[in-house]
Amino acid sequence: MGNNQQILGTEPIGKLLLKYSLPAIIGMMVNGLYNVVDRIFIGNIPGVGPLAITGLGVTMPIMTIILAFGLLIGVGTATNISIKLGQGKREEAEKLIGNAITLAIIVGLMITTLGIIFEDQILTSFGASKDSLYYAKAYINIILLGSVFNLMGFAFNHIIRGDGNPKLSAIIMIVGCVTNIVLDAVFIFGFNMGIQGAAIATVISQFVTAAWGLSYYLRGKSNLRFDKANLKLDKSLIAIIFSIGVAPFAMQIAASCVQIISNNALRTYGGDLAIGAMATVNSIVTLLSMPIIGISQGAQPIVGFNYGCKRYDRAEKTLKICVSAATIGLFISWLVVQFVPGPIVSMFNSDAELVRISVDGVRKYLCMMPLIGMSIIGSNYIQSIGKAKQAMFLSLLRQVILLVPMMLILPRIFGLNGVWFAQPIADVISFIVTFILINREVKSHKKIETECVA
């Protein structure tokens, strides 16, 4: 047993969580900021901010779909690289890198072509009105042209981590985010390029991350070697990439469908400004939920190792600390959102009417925020102990199984309030179901321990 594995079974849980969760939290926050920063700058464009951020809100399902393909290729490739290296099959691991690059290029070009050809129909069906369509097209046209860089950046981010260099992967991601922030300010306000400037800044930052990732392999400094011959697609390798990457891909496609349903309900019952308000609300949700996801990712190896060693007490202690930390953090965030939401919302736009709708929306949408910690940490705990089907059910429960019907039914009865309250109702039910399943799992561990002692 390696030293790292021994530490997982012996070191204090709190110390382990700091060691493993802190980098994950930083990574998730950087990833979240990537999109949130665009919304902040776009929402503050003089004279057009409200409609511009509404246009951006309409494009979010497309951005999520691109992310889905990035995860399909990136997660699928990185996981299989780790498996192949563990099996001593270095040559196959190197072939996976070449295949991932080719897949990113092909899929990226397909997204660009189809997106531009059918953009009017797509954006209208995703919630664009005559007024917001101009801004949605101005932004997404440029984003679509950079789809290849976007997918390659995602792929290399995961591949480099699977290749054994997580530090470089994190550095590349941080540099890409900082580049995006700086260029946003320069293009939008320095060159007065508006929403198109934000899109150009995003594409350039994606190009930087993709080029850096590619150069890492071309310069021969990587653990695995890049060979042009491996760019030729191999059906068997594509199959194993997709078999692993399909789970996060499906989750993001489901999220995109929820965004589409939400946008159309918002346009029907609240108009363009309601879509802009939801873009602001989702930005706040992203910033507040990323640390919780980071905590759960850091806990995964600790829970998995100790559960595998039948040290159930340590696995359960990890669960309790994570849920407690997440709930306390979310409760503090809830207090801020409920009592002083104005300054947060005003970061994204200064239009009085949009701020009013956003403040009302964020209070209602996040009224059950402290319960989210149990849902996120709990589903990750179930996944960490190897119960994939239950974990998938819990992951889909809150954001798809419950939320989609709520979004379709409640607005018909309560109008715009139905959209805002759909998420908290889903949060309450998801919390109850997750708590029951976790409680049952913990009791089964204690029963096993009792039988072993007897």
Tens digit of each residue's pLDDT, the chain (454 residues): 445 556 777 788 888 888 878 877 877 787 777 778 888 888 888 777 788 889 989 999 999 999 899 989 988 888 788 778 778 888 998 999 999 999 999 999 999 999 999 999 999 999 999 989 999 999 999 999 999 999 999 889 888 877 777 778 888 888 998 999 999 999 998 898 989 999 999 999 999 999 999 999 888 777 788 889 999 999 999 999 998 888 788 888 988 999 999 999 999 999 999 999 999 999 999 889 888 988 887 888 888 888 888 888 898 999 999 999 999 999 999 999 999 999 999 998 888 999 999 999 999 999 999 999 999 999 888 888 877 788 888 888 988 899 999 999 999 999 999 999 999 999 999 999 999 999 998 888 766 655 444 4
Q: How far is CA 442 from the centre of its chain?
A: 29
252 and 291 part of one domain = no
What tokens were used for 38?
Answer: 């665009």
Cβ 153 vs Cβ 206: under 8 Å: yes
351 and 437 part of one domain = yes
What tokens were used for 90?
Answer: 């270095």
414 occurs within a structural domain:
yes
35 occurs within a structural domain:
no
264 and 277 part of one domain = no
Half-sphere exposure of 227 (CA within 13 A, CB side): 13
The C-alpha atoms of residue 299 and residue 309 are separated, in whole angstroms, by 16
How many domains in the chain? Answer: 2
The C-alpha atoms of residue 361 and residue 278 are separated, in whole angstroms, by 7
pLDDT at 298: 81
The C-alpha atoms of residue 225 and residue 442 are separated, in whole angstroms, by 45
Q: How many CB atoms are located within 10 Å of the residue 31 CB?
A: 20
The C-alpha atoms of residue 74 and residue 83 are separated, in whole angstroms, by 14
36 occurs within a structural domain:
no
The DSSP secondary-structure symbol of 11 reads: S
Range of the domain at 326: 1-24+272-454
pLDDT at 6: 66
293 and 391 part of one domain = yes
Q: Which of 270, 292, 318 is the last residue of a domain?
A: 270
410 and 438 part of one domain = yes
Q: Which of 214, 249, 270 is the last residue of a domain?
A: 270
Helix orientation angle between 49-86 and 90-117, rounded to the nearest 10 degrees: 160
Cβ 18 vs Cβ 91: under 8 Å: no
Q: Where are the alpha helices (DSSP H) in 310-415?
A: 312-339, 341-346, 352-365, 372-384, 388-396, 403-414
The C-alpha atoms of residue 254 and residue 415 are separated, in whole angstroms, by 23
pLDDT at 5: 55
31 occurs within a structural domain:
no
Residue 28: CB partners within 8 Å, gap ≥ 6? 290, 291, 293, 294, 297
256 and 276 part of one domain = no
- In the chain, what is the straight-line distance between the N-terminal and C-terminal CA atoms, in Å? 29
342 and 237 part of one domain = no
37 occurs within a structural domain:
no
Under the phi-then-psi rule, with left for phi > 0, alpha for psi from -120 to 50, and beta for the rest, what region is 232? beta
128 and 5 part of one domain = no
69 and 214 part of one domain = yes
Cα dihedral value 210, 214, 216, 222, nearest 10: 120
What tokens were used for 381?
Answer: 């705990």
Long-range interactions of 234-242: CB distance < 8 A, separation 24+: 234/95, 234/99, 237/80, 237/92, 237/95, 237/96, 237/99, 238/99, 238/103, 240/76, 240/80, 241/72, 241/73, 241/76, 241/77, 241/80, 241/96, 241/99, 241/100, 241/103, 242/72, 242/76
Q: Which of 270, 287, 310 is the last residue of a domain?
A: 270
295 occurs within a structural domain:
yes
299 and 173 part of one domain = no
pLDDT at 446: 67
354 occurs within a structural domain:
yes
344 and 211 part of one domain = no
Cα dihedral value 404, 256, 35, 176, nearest 10: 140
Helix (H), strand (E) at residue 300: helix 272-308
137 and 252 part of one domain = yes
Cβ 172 vs Cβ 213: under 8 Å: yes
Cβ 98 vs Cβ 230: under 8 Å: yes
pLDDT at 453: 40
120 occurs within a structural domain:
yes
pTM of this prediction?
0.84
